[in-house]
């Protein structure tokens, strides 16, 4: 998988935004694959529009690479570690903001039992080094929409140790060419991490226990020398859930 790899750019991890958050009056919604006139799609569009309007004052006049953070508050009746996958919350938001002309190089999402959700954005600040919980760096040569892409990641994690039960923090740092939409890599990459996250069922491929990710950080560095290949640094660790509201 390393053949032909010419990129000299290492993956970059960015700090989680810690600037002043803003309450979301319209709760975040999960991604929907229903028809455009389906109630789920209509509610998602409302949530995305509200989030974009809420961020607009922060983004006005801000130049440079940006980091986004969405903190999702969920009812106490919701299974925090078994459903409401974070990538399904933040993907439609990042895609919506990108189409409106605000791409991000770092996207964070958290979830916790709380009455309110929050959003914020600021200039992206590199951490300067790999996280202490850096697990592996993998290279892929296949399309992110293919099973081969997931298998290449899965095979390179043959020595990975499954993380203990409970909440997890996961960060993924990509190096991709500018022609690639790195947002489309999030879900297939996470689907390939069952050796770290565990499987929902032993014989079911590409269905990890990703609901237990309570903090997700996604980062991107552009390097056209990668061509159609991808470099992904993975950092995963057990996490005692989650962020206090005063930190948001």
CATH number of 206's domain: 3.30.1330.70
Asked if residue 2 belongs to a domain, the reply is: no
How far is the C-alpha of 198 from the C-alpha of 178, rounded, in Å?
32
Structural domain boundaries enclosing 85: 22-123
**Same domain, residue pair 93 and 139:** no
Total domain count, the chain:
2
Asked if residue 225 belongs to a domain, the reply is: yes
**Residue 2 scores a pLDDT above 70:** no
Asked if residue 158 belongs to a domain, the reply is: yes
Closest to 240 (Cα-Cα) out of 214, 221, 218: 214
**Residue 176 scores a pLDDT above 70:** yes
Residue with tokens 């237990």, as numbered in its chain:
212
**Residue 147 scores a pLDDT above 90:** yes
Asked if residue 230 belongs to a domain, the reply is: yes
- What pLDDT is stored for residue 169 in this prediction? 96
Asked if residue 3 belongs to a domain, the reply is: no
pLDDT (average), residues 44-59: 95
**Residue 91 scores a pLDDT above 50:** yes
Outline where the chain has alpha helix (H).
39-59, 86-99, 147-156, 186-191, 194-197
How far is the C-alpha of 2 from the C-alpha of 10, rounded, in Å?
14
Average pLDDT of the chain, as a whole number = 91
**Residue 189 scores a pLDDT above 50:** yes
The residues near 118 (Cβ < 8 Å, ≥ 6 apart) are 21, 22, 23, 24, 69, 70, 71, 73, 248
With 0-12 CB in 10 A as exposed, 13-18 as middle and 19+ as buried, what is 169?
A: buried
Residue 1: band (very low, low, confident or very high) from pLDDT cuts 50, 70, 90: very low
**Same domain, residue pair 233 and 211:** yes
pLDDT (average), residues 154-183: 94
**Same domain, residue pair 102 and 150:** no
**Residue 247 scores a pLDDT above 60:** no
Asked if residue 248 belongs to a domain, the reply is: no
Q: Could you give phi then psi for residue 108, rounded to 5 degrees?
A: -120, 150
The length of the chain, given as a count of residues:
248
**Same domain, residue pair 176 and 238:** yes
**Same domain, residue pair 108 and 152:** no
Asked if residue 140 belongs to a domain, the reply is: yes
**Residue 3 scores a pLDDT above 50:** no
Q: Residue 140 corresponds to which tokens in the numbers above?
A: 């892929």
How far is the C-alpha of 45 from the C-alpha of 34, rounded, in Å?
12
With 0-12 CB in 10 A as exposed, 13-18 as middle and 19+ as buried, what is 202?
A: exposed
């Amino acid at each position: 998988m390393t053949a032909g790899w010419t990129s000299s750019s290492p993956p970059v991890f960015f700090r989680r935004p810690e600037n002043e958050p803003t309450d979301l009056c319209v709760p975040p919604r999960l991604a929907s694959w229903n028809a455009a006139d389906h109630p789920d799609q209509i509610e998602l569009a409302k949530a995305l529009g509200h989030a974009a309007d809420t961020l607009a004052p922060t983004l006005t006049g801000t130049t440079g690479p940006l980091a986004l953070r969405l903190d999702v508050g969920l009812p106490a009746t919701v299974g925090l570690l078994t459903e409401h996958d974070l990538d399904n919350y933040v993907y439609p938001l990042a895609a919506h903001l990108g189409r409106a002309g605000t791409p991000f190089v770092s996207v964070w999402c958290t979830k916790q039992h709380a009455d309110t959700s929050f959003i914020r954005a600021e200039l992206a600040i590199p951490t300067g080094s790999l996280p202490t919980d850096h697990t592996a760096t993998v290279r892929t040569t296949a399309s992110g929409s293919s099973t081969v892409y997931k298998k290449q990641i899965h095979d390179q994690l043959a020595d990975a140790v499954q993380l203990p039960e409970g909440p997890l923090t996961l960060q993924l740092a990509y190096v991709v060419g500018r022609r690639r939409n790195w947002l489309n890599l999030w879900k297939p990459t996470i689907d390939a991490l069952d050796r770290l996250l565990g499987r929902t069922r032993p014989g079911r491929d590409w269905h990890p226990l990703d609901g237990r990710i309570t903090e997700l950080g996604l980062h991107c560095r552009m390097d056209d020398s990668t061509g159609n290949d991808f470099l992904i640094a993975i950092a995963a660790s057990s996490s005692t859930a989650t962020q206090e509201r005063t930190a948001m």
